[in-house]
Amino acid sequence: MRVSQPVGQKRHTNIAVVSIRKKVEGKEYKFEIACYPNKVLNQREGLEKDLDQVLQTDTIFTNVSRGDIATNEDLITCFGTTNHRKICVEIIKEGHLQVSEKEREYLSESRSRDVLNMLTQMTMDASTGYPLTVTQIQAALDDIHYHISGKSSLKGSRSIKHRDEEEEVKLIARECVKKLESELPHRISRVNMMLRVVVSESARSKISSASISSIAEGKCIVTNEDHRTFLVTCHPRVMKLIKDTYGEDIETLSVVDSFVHKILPNSVPPSPPKKLVSQSSADPSPKVVTESKVDHVKTSSHHHACVTCGDTSFESATEFRQHCRSEWHAFNKKRQVKGLPFMDHLEYELLPDDMKLNFNAVDP
């Protein structure tokens, strides 16, 4: 008969290890602490104040997996104290978090959510100028097979400042916008910005509304407030073109509004659909017949129109199905049941967030 002996070890399983390296007098020391998954990030972000909810034990290790405990001499040499809780606070703040599976899932979901929320501010519908919802942007990213969370999602595990985290989210969002603009130019475009350009007195004669419009290839709206001040509504990349073109002739170049949902002139309309006509015996080459734009719009609106949202027409069945899964459509369904009139997309986007979350579907 086998006799079971008691285990005198405390095994650390399903933990998040935070490590820090210290170099004193040419000698390098390494210290580790054992924490609960997800709690380290909450403590760094200020969401968790109780240190006992973060630490599995306040013991300082040199290697958590082997259970090697740091000596008091090493702690005094590197930290100047043997108070383990104070040392733990410093290690959590400055140390490197070894990402576990749960931490990786949390970081990936958090990063994707932040990027999608930023994309709702940076993008708009290319044909109507209306803002896009998170559902619509996620569906567009799925259509082009673009995944937000990549290697950069693990950067949040390190001890970095909050502004660096926000800057990284902005960089990822900008890459997503470029990808969406290049792959789906007729569905999604970058929101425009309004610039105030004040030129110098010596450059009044050579800088005009026409010259500014020519830089943007006509895809802008220029308003001349006076002979020296211009309001320019354009794509964000035009700001750099204006700065590089005029240089010292500009006294002030400032952003009035970063998010302007407006369709600019000279925008490229969607290309009309093409039909392949069967080959005739006389002419073996296939003939391509282009449908008129008016007939195409009528056909699309007839077959793919949402009565719930005010006979909103769609060009394809795929877009119509995506619309039926959107929060805007579900909101109008609620209003239809209550006998209330529908809300167009712009009115829905301007509703307070609490009304959308509560899903009251009542008149604001």
Q: Is residue 282 part of a domain?
A: yes
Whether 116 and 183 map to the same domain: the answer is yes
Q: Is residue 364 part of a domain?
A: no
Whether 180 and 246 map to the same domain: the answer is no
Helix, strand, coil percentages, rounded to 5, for the chain: 40, 20, 35
Q: Is residue 9 part of a domain?
A: no
Q: Is residue 156 part of a domain?
A: yes
Whether 176 and 109 map to the same domain: the answer is yes
The whole-number pLDDT of residue 9 equals 57
Domain containing residue 37: CATH number: 3.30.1250.10
The whole-number pLDDT of residue 87 equals 93
The whole-number pLDDT of residue 20 equals 93
Q: Is residue 6 part of a domain?
A: no
Whether 106 and 176 map to the same domain: the answer is yes
Distance CA 187, CA 317 (A): 15
What the block records as the tokens of 163 is 């502004």
How remote is the C-alpha of 225 from its chain's centroid?
35
Whether 152 and 209 map to the same domain: the answer is no
The residue behind tokens 């509004």 is: 257
Whether 110 and 162 map to the same domain: the answer is yes
Distance CA 12, CA 193 (A): 53
Q: Which residues pair with 197 in a beta bridge?
A: 230, 253
Q: Is residue 242 part of a domain?
A: yes
* Residue ranges making up the domain that contains 124: 101-189
Whether 105 and 85 map to the same domain: the answer is no
Q: How many domains does the chain have?
A: 4
Whether 178 and 220 map to the same domain: the answer is no
The whole-number pLDDT of residue 294 equals 38
Closest CA to 324 of 121, 142, 139, 119: 139
Domain containing residue 130: CATH number: 1.10.10
What the block records as the tokens of 47 is 């969401």
Whether 182 and 198 map to the same domain: the answer is no
The residue out of 81, 98, 115 marking a domain boundary is 98
User: What is the residue-wise DSSP string for 251-283?
Assistant: EEEEEEEEEE--PPTTPPPPPPPEEEEPPPSS-
* CA atoms within a 13 Å half-sphere pointing along the CA-CB vector of 331: 25
CA distances from 91 to 83, 159, 164, 236 (A): 13, 10, 20, 42
Closest CA to 235 of 123, 349, 133, 136: 123
Q: Which residues pair with 274 in a beta bridge?
A: 290
Rounded to two decimals, what is the model's pTM? 0.51
The residue out of 98, 133, 153 marking a domain boundary is 98
The residue out of 260, 290, 309 marking a domain boundary is 260
Distance CA 217, CA 75 (A): 65
The whole-number pLDDT of residue 211 equals 86
Domain containing residue 225: CATH number: 3.30.70
Q: Is residue 289 part of a domain?
A: yes
Q: Is residue 108 part of a domain?
A: yes
Q: What is the pLDDT along the chain (364 residues), one digit of tens a residue?
A: 566 666 555 565 668 889 999 998 889 999 999 988 778 878 888 888 889 999 998 899 999 888 899 999 999 999 999 999 999 999 998 898 886 676 677 778 888 888 999 899 889 988 888 888 989 999 999 999 888 864 443 344 443 444 456 778 888 888 899 899 889 988 898 888 889 899 888 888 888 888 888 888 888 888 887 778 888 888 888 888 888 888 888 888 888 888 888 788 765 444 444 444 444 444 554 444 444 433 443 333 345 788 888 777 777 777 887 888 888 888 888 888 887 888 888 788 777 777 776 665 454 4
Whether 70 and 114 map to the same domain: the answer is no
Whether 105 and 183 map to the same domain: the answer is yes
